[in-house]
């Protein structure tokens, strides 16, 4: 049996809009074990990003309990949450979110500056990660000199350079064509086989099938889906 990585119980998220409360997550129960590769599949507006932000400690639930690596997240203050995010979590987004004025290696190096590592070591680590994602000949290209798939590889290198235990990806292939999206999924498969837990949001079943396990989200409710053959 694998060890539990996180557990959510009865997670509810409500937003106040004008005079009304909107319930976006309606009692989510979800357990993820270490080394899992889970995809969350659901249509637009179903609550995927809201759920991801809670998993990533970027947002807190209105109700329910969230325990990440034995820590009760609702009991952590902002500083502790930031430390957990820096140490444990890597984020990848649909729109890459690279800094346009910095070349690939500087983008990847950035999270290591926050972690207090010296410059030489930062460069070595950043270069190693870019080689790892197949961009050894693009170290000094700026984002606008890279294709979409290459930009997403830089973003994945940036997410992984701190060696986080979990990679959270919100529609990582949403801006990519099918072939490039598949290549990014192959890279995710390799990262997962090296022991990193991955949670990926998508509305595309063919992308979701690259994960080991799929859960469906519909109107803020989660349904356990199928095991895949990945």
Which one of the spans 31-39, 45-53, 136-144, 181-189 is the region binding ligand ATP (CB under 6 A)?
A: 45-53
Phi-psi bin for 209: left (phi > 0), alpha (psi -120 to 50), beta? alpha
Cα(22)–Cα(181) distance, integer angstroms: 34
164 binds, among ligand ATP, Mg ion, none (CB under 5 to 8 A by kind): none
Tokens 């930031």 appear where?
A: 82
Part of the chain binding ligand ATP (CB under 6 A), chosen from 44-52, 104-112, 121-129, 161-169: 44-52
CB of 16 to ligand ATP, least distance (A): 8
Q: Decide if 213 contacts 225 (C-beta within 8 A).
A: yes
At residue 134, the 3 state secondary structure works out as coil
Exactly one of 45, 70, 145, 190 binds ligand ATP (CB under 6 A); that residue is 45
The answer to whether 94 contacts Mg ion (rule: CB under 5 A) is no
Q: How far is the CB of 117 from ligand ATP (least distance, A)?
A: 33
Element (H, E) at 93: strand 89-93
Q: Is 49 in the site for Mg ion (CB under 5 A)?
A: yes
39 sits near ligand ATP (criterion: CB under 6 A)? no
Check binding of 48 to ligand ATP (CB under 6 A).
yes
Q: Tell me the CA distances in angstroms from 37 to 63, 134, 166, 210, one per residue in order.
A: 26, 22, 10, 9
Q: Is 50 in the site for ligand ATP (CB under 6 A)?
A: yes
Distance of CA 26 to the CA centre of its chain: 22
CB 24 within 8 A of CB 220: yes
Residues that bind ligand ATP (CB under 6 A): 15, 17, 22, 24, 42, 44-50, 203
């Amino acid at each position: 049996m694998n060890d539990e990585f996180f557990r959510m119980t009865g997670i509810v998220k409500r937003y106040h809009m004008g005079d009304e409360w909107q319930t976006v997550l309606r009692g989510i129960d979800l357990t993820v074990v270490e080394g899992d590769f889970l995809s969350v599949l659901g249509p637009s507006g179903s609550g995927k990003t809201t759920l991801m932000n809670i998993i990533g400690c970027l947002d807190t639930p209105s109700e329910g309990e969230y325990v990440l690596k034995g820590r009760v997240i609702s009991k952590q203050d902002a500083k502790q949450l930031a430390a957990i995010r820096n140490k444990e979590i890597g984020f990848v987004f649909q729109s890459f979110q690279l800094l346009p004025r910095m070349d690939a290696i500087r983008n990847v190096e950035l999270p290591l500056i926050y972690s207090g590592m010296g410059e030489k070591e930062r460069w070595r680590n950043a270069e190693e990660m870019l080689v790892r994602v197949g961009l050894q000949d693009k170290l000094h290209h700026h984002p606008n000199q890279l294709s979409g798939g290459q930009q997403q590889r830089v973003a994945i290198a940036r997410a992984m350079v701190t060696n986080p235990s979990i990679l959270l990806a919100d529609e990582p292939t949403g801006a990519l064509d099918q072939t490039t999206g598949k290549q990014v999924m192959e890279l995710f498969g390799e990262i997962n086989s090296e022991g990193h837990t991955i949670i990926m949001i998508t509305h595309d079943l063919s992308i979701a099938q690259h994960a080991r396990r799929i859960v469906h989200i519909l109107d803020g409710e989660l349904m356990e889906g199928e095991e895949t053959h990945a």
